[in-house]
Structure 1
Amino acid sequence: MTKRFVCISLFLLYLFCAGLQSPALAFTGEQQLFNEAWQVVSQSYVDNSFNHQDWRAMRREVLAQPLNDSQQTYAAIQKMLHSLDDPFTRFLPPAQYESLQTSTAGELTGVGLQITRNSDAEPIEVISPIEGSPAAAADLQPADQILQIDQTQTKDLTLDQSAELMRGPVGSRVILKVRRPDLDKILEVGLTRDRIAINPVKSELKVQPDGSQVGYIRLRQFNANATREMEMAIRDLQRQGVIGYVLDLRNNPGGLLQAGVEIARLWLDPGPIVYTVDRQGIQGSFDAQASALTHTPLVVLVNRGSASASEILAGALQDTGRAQLIGEQTFGKGSIQSLFDLSDGSGLAVTIARYETPNHRNINKVGIKPDQIVKQSPITASQVATDVDAQYQAAVDVLRQPSAIASAA
């Protein structure tokens, strides 16, 4: 009798443990999708206090309720992520997730705005318009606040819902209501959506009045093509005998972390580029491991629209003494996100770490202060890197100083 009781007890214990290991067996398809998202955040999110809340209790509460369709499931996932109070950790339905992946590959359809929101209580803000886009042609500017998209007020929308509303078929129209803080003025801006080819690098040989040559490189975005195009631009300008480079990161909202690291390696000798700090406080690093492609003097232009991977690159070049930074304080995004596929084609962008510059500066919500602060009045795209571009002219003046020219010899 005792033996039989022990066997039954062991069998029940086995069933109990098996149930713990495979909870999805009792879930509906929608519950499984929610649980999948919960597991991703549980295992990856940078803050293991989950904004000081009981993360397991949240899961139990949601799974105790029926999730009848994908819209209910998506709403539950979004509510879960909202509780983290992190605008960069977000859920993307299938169409939005595909669009995000496409944009980092170098294509985009819409109005061409990079946007952010610091908290739910604050308005959606422009990081920068993409050069050559309808938004840039309409002179939308960094720090502009988007209050309304067509008839929908953005205070009722998530960041990605706002982005989705601004996307649409090529040739279709969208009306934005925009507040420009420095003018205390509300504008109504009509835009025609278009296909935006994101060619990340523009380079040009600039001949100065004294005959010296400066290599100007504008980096618009850190996408999958950026490193290759940057290397080609440097090699081409180097062959032409430039006395120095101006690397323009103004209004560059970032993109792929790996592209930022790889581009830094083109300019830096062996040493740290960026440190990452995960949820356990464990520090890793991305390093330059070979000699720089060039040691010719370098000045970097930054402004409020320089964010994320732009700040990783600018911080590395400044901390190592490889370049002087000129312009205005950068945006201040010091966290790293990773994309995670979900089984129905949707996805998550999850903050997995924060980063520090080589001198261990945490620039999140602070930004990077340039070595030389130069204010810039608004100019058109055609006036960038010309005589009316005060920040560019300041960079050229630095490169033409005798000390800079001597260091290139």
Structure 2
Amino acid sequence: MLRKRFWAIACSLLLILGMVFTPTNAAAAFTEEQSVLLQAWRYVSQSYVDDTFNNNNWWLLRQKYLKRRLETKDQAYDAISEMLAVLDDPYTRLLRPEQYRSLKVSTAGELSGVGLQININQDSGDLEVIVPIAGSPADEAGIEAKDIILAIDGVDTKNISLDEAAARMRGPKGSAVALTVKSAVTKAVRTVSMVRDTISLNPVYAKLEQHEGQNIGYLRLNQFSANAKVEIEHALTDLQSQGADRFVLDLRNNPGGLLQAGIEIARLWLDQETIVYTVSREGIFDSYAATGHAVTDAPLVVLVNQATASASEILAGALQDNGRALLVGEKTFGKGLIQSLFELPDGAGMAVTVAKYETPLHHDINKLGIMPDKVVEQDPIPYRMMATVEDGQYQVALDLLS
């Protein structure tokens, strides 16, 4: 009897307050723009690696931005970007519909644009060229590694994000774009007009090298895209059929890509060792290991530099910590955070940092990088000079293998 009276009082109170909770009424309480913001908030709330949210009250931020006047999608996107900014994490970011589509296309292996890998220089804040893709419009225009992109079609790059800069350089095949570029060598400023083209992102370049009587297979991996593992396995077995019995794996200027691609490629070189540990925000460790199906146990040297980042560092760290390869070059970039992609209801997306990773010997390399076994400093060189007599780091790798 007492239980029935309590239930009746509770129901009456809810009715008086107008608090009838049904899915339909809950959805109707928010506009389409607010719903997009709420979904973005939920993704971070449920998945973000730091459960203090950079010492911010994440719930109060939700309330703050829901009170804002959001009448257009752009206003919702601006609010989401402001909300994410308090995390002080450049890798957790909003991807507007065009940016999200471009990212999915690029990781699939092909896009249309000028063919530049770019990054924001952490010291200067400049939009910097990592490297032009071989044979791309940017490569043919003479743009080189470490050049600074000052403007894209007259838009100052100081005022836009990395994703927006990439989106502005992409576009339909045959369309034109003008880049204002400052040379890293001469410091001269010039405006370069280019016609966008389809950029085939075959992530692997391979060749057989004869050095002091040894057959050395050279493999350059440019990006960890969805087709990277298949392409590098094909190149590896092809080089073996040509007589290669030792290898150089070049990860210089490789900005990373898909985590799973990095793990699968590590399994080509390792037997049953640990490849990487991931650490969730609860401090829970998970790990990925090799599966006992290495393609080769031949001697291996890995080339790295300051632009070797993310999934490249996972692969390099796995090979170094397990004693499978010697690393040659310069200390790597130091990105030890893992992002997941989430889709928003309107075709936009989000990249959210969901975990950090550690190498098999539990080295946390975020902002620290990986130190190679043999340090060989070298100014950035274009692709056409890589793996030639002008490439000092490569020559050291050949000598080590011989």
Q: TM-score, normalised by structure 1?
A: 0.90
Task: Specify the alignment match of 1:388 in structure 2.
Answer: 390
Please say if 1:333 is aligned against 2:335.
yes
Matched residue of 2:256: which SS?
coil
Select the residue among 296, 304, 308 that pairs with 2:298: 296
1:87, 1:112 → 2: CA distance?
A: 23
Task: Specify the alignment match of 1:7 in structure 2.
Answer: 8
Aligned pairs for 1:6-155 within 5 A: 7-13=8-14, 16=19, 18=21, 23-117=26-120, 122-155=125-158
For the structure 1 residues 267 and 196, does the alpha-carbon distance in structure 2 shift closer, same or farther, using more than 3 Å as the test? same
Aligned pairs for 1:153-302 within 5 A: 153-179=156-182, 183=185, 185-192=187-194, 193-210=196-213, 212-302=214-304
RMSD of the alignment, in Å?
2.6
For the structure 1 residues 91 and 256, does the alpha-carbon distance in structure 2 shift closer, same or farther, using more than 3 Å as the test? same
Q: Which runs of 5+ in 1 are unaligned?
A: 401-409
Task: Specify the alignment match of 2:319 in structure 1.
Answer: 317
Select the residue among 366, 383, 389 that pairs with 2:368: 366
Q: What whole-Å deviation, never above 9, does each CA across 1:5-49 have from its counterpart, x for those lacking one?
A: 851423544974837997434111111111011101111111111
Shift of 1:247: 0.6
Matched residue of 1:267: which SS?
coil
For the structure 1 residues 220 and 393, does the alpha-carbon distance in structure 2 shift closer, same or farther, using more than 3 Å as the test? same
Q: Which runs of 5+ in 2 are unaligned?
A: none
Q: Is the deviation greater in 391-400 or in 163-172?
A: 163-172
Contact 1:51-1:84 within 8 A present in 2 as well: yes
Q: What whole-Å deviation, never above 9, does each CA across 1:189-218 have from its counterpart, x for those lacking one?
A: 4141221000111211112353x2111111
Shift of 1:147: 2.9
2:273, 2:290 → 1: CA distance?
A: 5
Shift of 1:285: 1.0
Contact 1:142-1:305 within 8 A present in 2 as well: no
Contact 1:201-1:220 within 8 A present in 2 as well: yes
Matched residue of 1:284: which SS?
strand
2:209, 2:138 → 1: CA distance?
A: 28
For the structure 1 residues 24 and 323, does the alpha-carbon distance in structure 2 shift closer, same or farther, using more than 3 Å as the test? same
For the structure 1 residues 191 and 375, does the alpha-carbon distance in structure 2 shift closer, same or farther, using more than 3 Å as the test? farther
For the structure 1 residues 356 and 109, does the alpha-carbon distance in structure 2 shift closer, same or farther, using more than 3 Å as the test? same
Q: What whole-Å deviation, never above 9, does each CA across 1:282-320 have from its counterpart, x for those lacking one?
A: 111111121421110000111122111111101111111
Contact 1:128-1:252 within 8 A present in 2 as well: no
Contact 1:148-1:178 within 8 A present in 2 as well: yes
Instruction: Give the AA of the match of 1:24.
Output: A
Contact 2:145-2:382 within 8 A present in 1 as well: no
1:120, 1:238 → 2: CA distance?
A: 43
Shift of 1:274: 0.8
Identity %: 55
1:17, 1:124 → 2: CA distance?
A: 52
Contact 1:374-1:391 within 8 A present in 2 as well: yes
2:188, 2:111 → 1: CA distance?
A: 27
1:135, 1:9 → 2: CA distance?
A: 68
2:362, 2:24 → 1: CA distance?
A: 41
Shift of 1:184: 8.1
Q: How many residues align?
A: 398
Task: Specify the alignment match of 1:403 in structure 2.
Answer: none
Shift of 1:119: 6.5
Q: What whole-Å deviation, never above 9, does each CA across 1:77-105 have from its counterpart, x for those lacking one?
A: 11111221111111111111111000000
Contact 1:78-1:90 within 8 A present in 2 as well: yes
2:301, 2:249 → 1: CA distance?
A: 6
Instruction: Give the AA of the match of 2:329.
Output: G
Matched residue of 1:100: which SS?
helix
Q: Is the deviation greater in 277-286 or in 18-27?
A: 18-27
Contact 2:207-2:218 within 8 A present in 1 as well: yes
Matched residue of 1:53: which SS?
coil
Instruction: Give the AA of the match of 2:167.
Output: E
